[in-house]
Structure 1
Amino acid sequence: MRLRSLVSLFTLIFVLSACSSTPASTPASSAPAPSAAPNTAPIIMAWYPNESGSEMGAARDAFAAVVSEALKRPVQHQTTTDYIIAIEAMANNNAHLAFFGAEGYVQAHDKNPKVLPLVIPSGTDGTLNGAVYYSWLAVMRGQEGNYQENGSFKIDNIQGQRFSFVSNSSTSGFRVPSSNIIKYFGTQEKWKDLTADDLIEGGADNFFSEVQFGGSHQGSAVNLISGKVDVAAFCDTCVENYVTLVEGTANTAGAVYRVNANADEPFTQYAGAEFVIIAATPVLNAPFVMNTSMLTEAEIQTLKDALTSDAVAQNTQIFAPKEVVEAGYKPLFRKTKDERFLVVEDSFFDPIRALK
């Protein structure tokens, strides 16, 4: 009897011990991990001076709304007064996204390989064919005859003139026109060693008598219209909200443009002024770029899917049709046919890298 009681006691102690040790034997790693809280920090979007004006505020907000809706994060605009500020913001991990010209993108990517293209606007047919805008050389109306020979426009007589570029980080406002000038004049013995650096400063012994930088395409155009320079480089898309084609064919030598009567700053005091294109060069469309070290792979794919969607292609605040523009809206892009955003790789911009 006593033995049976002892056995029962030991059995009870064993069962209780086993029950009490069960929780401790469960590995901690098997417990479900708490779900990560969603990232709600603002997306910082850097803009060049060309798109930083108040008149472009609604267009900036329209693009930001797509980004915010896709990522469920607010967007904070970083407008700038200098190309370098925007480029450095991307290269130094101070901005997630930006809208750059090809040259600005290449410079930012060289500084930080994590900066990559996100999307670019397509050509009119919705493909990469014709995905270009135009770099202009312009003179005031009445002066175009100085840049013609036998009825054809030539740039020989820009040498020795007062000249305006946009910024040495601008694709169509510096990289392309300077490359064209070097190529054209490099066949002459006097200018066979001409470089882009030689075009930055004016002087009696330099290529240009005086050189100014507008800081933006609008600023370079105003340098011309205000009489500060004789010839200016700027692009079609950055001034199309302020001017109207009145003679000739758009984006060809001989085309005449007039500043609109209701043009916003910095053109308000130059309504009716006319200038003539003496050279026009197609340039690869400007990309929206991303800092891939500041976005997750999932966020990047979500952005690409959202921006290349039919909904965005049909968004009249992003790709504005003629009637929207005529109603007073200042868009980033215009809808003429099938324009939309497309994904491109870094190598798409190799032609810009190849320029001298």
Structure 2
Amino acid sequence: MKKLAMILLLAMLTVIFTACSSSSGDGKSGGDKKKETITVVWYPNESADDLKDSRAAIDDVIAKATGKKVVDKLTTDYNIAIEALVSGNAQLGLMGGEGYTEAHTKNADVVPLVVNSGASGTLKDALYHSWISVRKADASKYMKDGKPTIDNIVGKKMSFVSPSSTSGFAIPTSRIIAHFSEQDKYKDLKVEDMQQGGKFFSQVLFGQSHQGSAANLLMGKADVAAFMDLLTPNYFELVSGKLNEEASVLKVRNDAGDPFTSLKGKEFTVLSVTPVLNGPIAMNSKSLSKEDQKKIQDALTSDETANNSKVFAPEGSKGIFSKDGKSRFVKVEDSWYDAIRDLH
């Protein structure tokens, strides 16, 4: 009996040892495969097909730094991108300030990794701009004393990007509310009133991307639209005035891709311009090892990446990030986005 018990014990140990070896020693189990892959989620704006080379360049920096496979998760809705990062289904994601603060509120493990700087190479001018625009043909209806004004946007069909968009919703609604709340009629105006027709606007549309919101305007679906200036290098060109100055006129480029292929040459006038903090490349710090976090941060903030024309596109080239002076990725803390939180 003792001999039989010993044989059974040895058999059990052999099975256990073999199982452990196959699950953790050969690196081929499902869990280990997941660890060997890093998923980057992209907002609808950056999921556009004509930005695939730009996405691939950023993925390549991450892959070389970690030695791991990098896959993209493309989206058609801001909330999908935010939830992917919150849940850890994606480890990294390029977000706007509003989307980032929303994600961080839902899961404190979501924190910023890097942000693209301004021309100075620092956080000092790490800004882009939110526009409220109208079709050029209608611009005269929105002028006061020869200058553009948002006074007459009440009762119009309005297009925003998404309720989770910083420059396509949070910033423009904040500006609209601040402007109109000085009038007794609108002193109780709230963000919620901006989200549906019949409260302030006759109709409210959401383009689900900055491209979509601009297209809503140029196709005549909306009278007024909010979207960001960062669309300019890829889709628009300046006709008159100066970029990011009110009353400037821009038109759709002849080589613009979807959704502007049938809108080439269409012009719009910018009524208002508001600076916005650049959004971060954020990470879910629980689903990304500390070792990989450091490797990725070091690689993205390196001089090599700053000088990589596939990551920071030179003037005249299409890309998610444009090269402007000493622009590069720099480290950023969560507290830097308190200015976005203060909007609420």
Structure 1 position 35, deviation (Å):
9.2
Does 1:288 pair with 2:281?
yes
Decide whether the 8 Å contact of 2:147 with 2:247 is kept in 1. Answer: no
Residue type at the aligned position of 2:253: N
The one-character-per-residue Cα deviations of 1:51-77 (angstroms, maximum 9, x if unpaired) are 111111000000000000101101110
Residue in structure 2 matching 1:267, options 260, 268, 276? 260
Decide whether the 8 Å contact of 1:50 with 1:238 is kept in 2. Answer: no
Which residue of 2 is the match for residue 343 of structure 1?
331
Residue in structure 2 matching 1:129, options 124, 131, 139? 124
Structure 1 CA distance for aligned equivalents of residues 86 and 315 of structure 2: 36
Counterparts of 1:60-71 in structure 2 under 5 Å? 60-71=55-66
Does 1:80 pair with 2:68?
no
When the two structures are superposed, what TM-score results if normalisation uses the length of structure 1? 0.86
Structure 1 CA distance for aligned equivalents of residues 232 and 96 of structure 2: 15
Moved more, 142-151 or 266-275: 142-151
Residue 234 of structure 2 aligns to a residue in which SS?
coil
Structure 1 position 244, deviation (Å):
0.4
Structure 2 CA distance for aligned equivalents of residues 36 and 334 of structure 1: 43
Residue 123 of structure 2 aligns to a residue in which SS?
coil
Decide whether the 8 Å contact of 1:47 with 1:79 is kept in 2. Answer: yes
Structure 1 CA distance for aligned equivalents of residues 173 and 258 of structure 2: 27
Which residue of 1 is the match for residue 149 of structure 2?
154
Structure 2 CA distance for aligned equivalents of residues 227 and 196 of structure 1: 24
The one-character-per-residue Cα deviations of 1:187-215 (angstroms, maximum 9, x if unpaired) are 11111111110111112xx2001110001
Residue type at the aligned position of 1:247: S
Residue type at the aligned position of 1:234: F
Moved more, 235-244 or 112-121: 235-244
Which residue of 1 is the match for residue 175 of structure 2?
180
What fraction of aligned residue pairs are identical, expressed as a percent? 46
Structure 2 CA distance for aligned equivalents of residues 263 and 154 of structure 1: 29
Unaligned stretches of 5+ residues in structure 1: 1-33
Structure 2 CA distance for aligned equivalents of residues 35 and 80 of structure 1: 36
Decide whether the 8 Å contact of 1:139 with 1:231 is kept in 2. Answer: yes
**RMSD (Å), alpha carbons:** 1.5
Which residue of 1 is the match for residue 239 of structure 2?
246
Does 1:55 pair with 2:43?
no
Moved more, 167-176 or 36-45: 36-45
Structure 2 CA distance for aligned equivalents of residues 35 and 347 of structure 1: 41
Structure 1 CA distance for aligned equivalents of residues 70 and 168 of structure 2: 28
Residue type at the aligned position of 2:71: Q
Residue 198 of structure 1 aligns to a residue in which SS?
helix
Structure 1 CA distance for aligned equivalents of residues 78 and 55 of structure 2: 17
The one-character-per-residue Cα deviations of 1:249-303 (angstroms, maximum 9, x if unpaired) are 1011111111011210000000110001000100000110000001121211111
Residue type at the aligned position of 1:154: T
Structure 1 position 240, deviation (Å):
3.2
Which residue of 2 is the match for residue 101 of structure 1?
96
When the two structures are superposed, what TM-score results if normalisation uses the length of structure 2? 0.89
Structure 1 CA distance for aligned equivalents of residues 74 and 62 of structure 2: 17
- Number of paired residues? 316
Structure 1 CA distance for aligned equivalents of residues 225 and 105 of structure 2: 28
Residue type at the aligned position of 1:255: S
Decide whether the 8 Å contact of 2:44 with 2:78 is kept in 1. Answer: yes
Structure 2 CA distance for aligned equivalents of residues 343 and 36 of structure 1: 36
Moved more, 60-69 or 238-247: 238-247
